[in-house]
Chain A
Amino acid sequence: MSALRGIITVWQRELLIYSRSKSRIFGSLGIPLFFLIAFGFGLSAVIKVQGTNYFSFIVPGMIGMVLLFQSIFSGLNMISERQFGFMKEIMVAPVSRISIALGKTLGAATTSTLQGLLVLLISIPLGFMPTQPWWMILLAIPVMLLIAMGFAAIGIAFGSVLSDPQGFQFIMNFLVFPIFLFSGAFFALESLPQWLRAVTFFDPLTYGVDAMRGLMLGLNHLAIPVAVVVLIIFDAVVIIIAARLFNKIQ
């Protein structure tokens, strides 16, 4: 089978499954929504960041959070699929492992991006006020996809190595949360002490949130092309790792 058709088939399946799963679509909007309401509304009165109200400031961060969580978990969902489900059906088909891994990564990234867009849409009636022109906001969509691809690949990589969902807690506490909290989702990078700021530059989500904030609010620290290049490099590295680990599954 041509590699591309394999990728597309696997990707289509992920999208169809996603469209059927209402609980997944709406369930995952809960946390970002509550964060927006509690922190956004709660702190908007007292905090202004870089001249913007706090609610608008954290919207890109919340989108980043949804991308991060959804991508990693879609990838990790593979563990249960491997144990009982559809995975075997794909694995015995004449489709290369690489195609399957890429299709899954792309599928998880696409569905996460759709979730991210939902957060963006919901935040507008709640009071999100982008300052940039509409075409820049549209440019945030490919950036979302870039963010999601990398984290989806991380999920696939863990899903290939772990044989049961026991490692969830560990990944959650020592990978997902630190990535989220140190990404500048809640704060401006320049307000951090020097050493902590250095830490945030090892966090790939920092670049994603910064680029989205730039495209929506004009509040970026790094030039947007720089952030995009960093994301592309990050994606390439983790996708290669994920594909290799996926290839080793027996």
Chain B
Amino acid sequence: MKNGSAIRASKLTKKYGNLVAVNAIDLEVAQGEIFGLLGPNGAGKTTTLSMLSTMLPPTSGKAEVNGFDVAEESGKVRESIGMVFQDPSLDLDLTAIENLDFHGKLYEMPAEERRKRAKEVLELVGLSDKAKVLVKTFSGGMKRRLEIARGLMHTPKVLFLDEPTLGLDPQTRRGIWDYVKKLSETEGLTVIITTHYMEEADSLCGRVAIIDAGKIVALDSPEKLKKKAGSETIQVTSSDNGKLLKLCKKAKCYQANGSVFFQVKDGSREMPRIVLGAQKNGIEIKSIELHGSTLEDVFIRLTGHRMREEELDSKDQANHRMRQWRKSR
């Protein structure tokens, strides 16, 4: 392995006709990192993941996973990675242990090792007592955990998680985060995770690449990204946002979604100044809010739009349709 890098991509690009889904991404992830790809749906996260996991051939550029080229040594890449897909991919008619056992067979693990490892990974995700239960009786969170266990079955060096907590309730989501953290500690695993939940990237990832429209617009630890944005954000809605924006001098300001955002060090001091300044200039303030900067603020500042809007709904609809379809089977 070269320089301890788990992932190394340079100018990685995927085009579909005229559409550039992933645009010349450069990326380097060290071993043992939990690395996040954060961005709205359609930003190119899953496409990037698909290329890194050899599921999609890149249009141009190069990528190495565990020192193996994704285009030329796809077999070796596949053996060394675990994958948890965005859509559920378990065999519902099989038990947890049968799902794991098939996975082990696909990865050429001998029977004895399969038995041992299956026990281990089930333990790891807290499903030991459900080993012989049919997966179709599992809750959403349990299925997710089993998929993570399956991804780990063949002891990969890198685990890819594509939107691992999509459609799960907040409590289950936090549970999954705990498991992922535990894994990276106990197994020394590199984890690449895509998400459009800011909170997820914030609490889970050591470093985050913010992706928008196929490009990485920022890459750093969540803390540093937030610091760059200013430690607090004041969100103001007014009668004339354009004029209000012009008043902004020191702070980092931008307009998005019908509001003006001021990213400042000390919000409680800045708020009165903004209100006074607005009054002087005859701008009527309709609402004003102060909150600690989040990755969402960073994203808005960098891209000029919010991360999740209707797209979340459409995703949920898709999930809903899928559940309906599964029921009807």
CA distance A113 to B78 in the complex (A): 34
Which one of A16-24, A26-34, A138-146 is at the interface?
A16-24
CB distance from A99 to the nearest CB of B (A): 10
- Chain A 39-51, CB within 8 Å of chain B: the 1/0 string? 0000000000000
* Cβ-defined contact, A94 with B75, below 8 A: yes
- Contacts known (A92-B78, A93-B78); A86 close to B106, Cβ less than 8 A: no
Contact B106 A1, beta carbon cutoff 8 Å: yes
Does residue A250 face the partner (Cβ distance < 8 Å to B)? yes
Q: Which residues on the B side are within 8 Å of A86 (C-beta)?
A: 89-91
Q: Which of B76-113 contact A (CB under 8 A)?
A: 78-79, 83, 85, 87-91, 93-94, 98, 102-103, 105-108
Task: Indicate if the CB atoms of A17 and B91 lie closer than 8 Å.
Answer: yes
B94 is contacted by which of A1, A9, A20, A88 (Cβ under 8 Å)?
A20
Residue of B87, B88, B91 touching A13 (CB-CB under 8 A) = B91
Task: For chain A, give the interface size range.
Answer: 20 to 34
List residues of chain B with CB within 8 A of the CB of A9.
102, 105-106
Is B251 in the interface zone, CB < 8 Å from A? no
A5 at the interface (CB under 8 A from B): yes
Q: Is the CB of B93 within 8 A of A17?
A: yes
The docked-state distance in angstroms from the alpha carbon of A17 to that of B92 is 9
When the two chains form their complex, are residues A21 and B93 in contact, meaning their CB atoms are under 8 A apart?
Answer: yes
A64 near B: Cβ within 8 Å? no
Contact residues in A for B326 (Cβ distance below 8 Å): 84
Q: Are A20 and B102 in contact (CB under 8 A)?
A: no
Report whether B56 and A250 are in contact in the complex, using a CB–CB cutoff of 8 Å.
yes
Is B54 an interface position by the 8 A CB rule?
yes
Chain B residues in 8 Å Cβ range of A20 = 93-94
Closest chain A residue, CB of each to CB of B78: A94
**Which partner residue on chain B sits nearest A9 by CB separation?**
B105
A93 to B98, CA, bound (A): 16
A156 CA / B61 CA spacing, docked (Å)? 33
CB distance from A134 to the nearest CB of B (A): 35
A18 nearest in chain B by CB position:
B93
A92 touches B54 (CB 8 A): yes
| Minimum distance in angstroms from B164 CB to a CB of chain A | 15
A95 beta carbon closer than 8 Å to chain B: yes
Using known A-B contacts A20-B94, A85-B89, A93-B78, determine if residue A6 contacts B106 with beta carbons closer than 8 Å. yes
Q: Which residues of B contact A229 (CB under 8 A)?
A: none
Whether the Cβ atoms of B107 and A94 lie closer than 8 Å is yes
Question: Is A93 within 8 A of B106, CB to CB?
Answer: yes
B53, A92: Cβ atoms closer than 8 Å: yes
B residues 30-80 near A (Cβ < 8 Å) are: 53-56, 75, 78-79
Q: What residues of A have a CB within 8 angstroms of the CB of B276 in the complex?
A: none
Residues of A within 8 A of B103 (CB): 89, 93
Q: From residue B54, how far is it (CB to closest CB) to chain A in Å? A: 7
B27 within 8 A of A: no
Could you tell me the distance in whole angstroms from the C-beta of A196 to the nearest C-beta in chain B? Answer: 39
Q: Does B322 contact A (CB under 8 A)?
A: yes
5 tightest A-B contacts by CB? A93-B106, A94-B78, A20-B93, A9-B105, A89-B89
Apart from A13-B91, A83-B87, A86-B89, what are 15 other A-B pairs with CB-CB below 8 Å? Answer: A1-B106, A1-B107, A6-B106, A9-B105, A12-B105, A13-B102, A17-B94, A80-B329, A85-B89, A88-B83, A89-B90, A89-B150, A90-B106, A91-B55, A250-B55
Query: Can you identify 30 A-B contacts, CB atoms within 8 angstroms?
Result: A5-B108, A9-B105, A9-B106, A13-B102, A17-B94, A20-B93, A21-B93, A80-B329, A83-B87, A84-B87, A84-B89, A84-B322, A84-B325, A86-B90, A88-B87, A88-B89, A89-B103, A89-B150, A90-B106, A91-B55, A92-B53, A92-B78, A93-B78, A94-B75, A94-B78, A94-B79, A94-B107, A95-B106, A250-B55, A250-B56
